[in-house]
Every structure is written in C-alpha cells, then in structure tokens.
Amino acid sequence: MDYSTHASLLERLAEGVDPTAWAEFNGRYRDLIRGIARRCGLQPADCDDVTQEVCLTLSKTLGRFAYDPAKGKFRSYLRTVVIHTITRKQRQNRAACPLPEDVEDPRCDTDPAAAAIWEDEWEQYHIRRAMGRLMTMVSGRDRIAFVRYAMQGASAAQTAEELQLTVDNVYQIKSRILKRLTELIAEQVEEEG
C-alpha cells in the first residue's frame, strides 16, 4: 500500500470525510496495535476488539485533535489510547472470569514493563514496515541473496554458490540493503514523530 504522509493522513482522519483514510490507518497501525495487545496477554479475538476500539476512540477524538509535532508526538497519543483500551479490555475480561488473588496483575497501564512492550513493538513495527517497502525496491537476485544470507542464516559461501555470485557480492548486497533499511526506518520515525 502506498501511504500518504503521516501528517496528511491525520488531517484526513480528523476531517472524517475520506473513507480510505481509515483503511490506510488500519493498514499502517493494525499489526502494531494487535502486537501490543497480544504481548499484554489478550487473546486473538480480544486483540481484534482492541484494534476496533482504538479506531472508534480515535474517530471520536481526532476531530478535536490538532497534530503539532512541536507539542508532542502522535506515537505518544496513540500509545495512550492503545494502552487504555487494552487495560479496559483486560478489566472487562477479569470481571467475566475473576483471577485468583495470587496471580500477577497483567494490566499494561500500571506495569512498568508496558513502556518496554510499547517500545519493542514500535521498533518491530517500523522494521516490518520498512522491510515491506524495501523488498519492493530491491532486485530479485539481491532480495534472494539478502533473505538467504541475512534472514535465513545460510552462509555467504552457500548463498554465493546458489546465486552464482562471489562471496564479496553477498556481503555487499547485505551491507547495501541494511544501509537502506536503516534509512527507511529513520525516515518513518521522523515522519511519524
């Protein structure tokens, strides 16, 4: 999916007149929200509920929300909405199925590990998103070499032999792709604030 800039997406969401804006938002943030909910202990169906509830909350509040990167990051606002939604879902689930007294409270809003969960998922989200974009920019042979060597753990010699490259070519491909991946991640983080 070809994404618009982050600021323009937020404007389109706030105006509430562009039906494709929510589809784009969902495409951009769904896996992030679900990943955090899953790591906070929710079941897959509850993760889907959290994603929908986050979108519903944002649809009600973004009309009054004026994105100003100088005042704060959208990621902080989104984090607050996501964590509060997860906490409500966990409380709802506990009411339906009370936990024994000796079970650790899994609430993400008071757990000091919540920030670590968010940061790790945020980083993984950007890596996945950048990898998706990058794989469309890289030639077929380079993509295969990178996946075999850097991601699947094949040796440089094996990869070179399979693709009729030199070992040095395999190292260069990996270096070039990792450099571009780092650039894409930096661009995404800068754009999203």
Give the CATH number, domain containing residue 1.
1.10.1740.10
Query: Which residue positions in the chain have pLDDT lower than 50?
Result: 1-4, 96-109
Q: What is the pLDDT of residue 95?
A: 54
Exposure string of 79-111, with b = 16+ CB inside 10 Å and e = fewer, is: bebbbebbbebbeebeeeeeeeeeeeebbbeeb
Q: What is the pLDDT of residue 105?
A: 43
Distance in angstroms (rounded) separating the CA atoms of residues 70 and 33: 24
Q: What is the pLDDT of residue 52?
A: 92
Evaluate whether residue 178 is within a structural domain. Answer: no
Distance in angstroms (rounded) separating the CA atoms of residues 135 and 146: 10
Evaluate whether residue 65 is within a structural domain. Answer: yes
Evaluate whether residue 98 is within a structural domain. Answer: yes
Q: Which domain holds residue 31?
A: 1-111
pTM of the model: 0.68
Q: What is the pLDDT of residue 63?
A: 75
Q: What is the pLDDT of residue 149?
A: 95
Evaluate whether residue 119 is within a structural domain. Answer: no
Distance in angstroms (rounded) separating the CA atoms of residues 111 and 17: 38
Evaluate whether residue 145 is within a structural domain. Answer: no
Q: What is the pLDDT of residue 193?
A: 61
Q: What is the pLDDT of residue 5?
A: 57
Domain count across the chain = 1
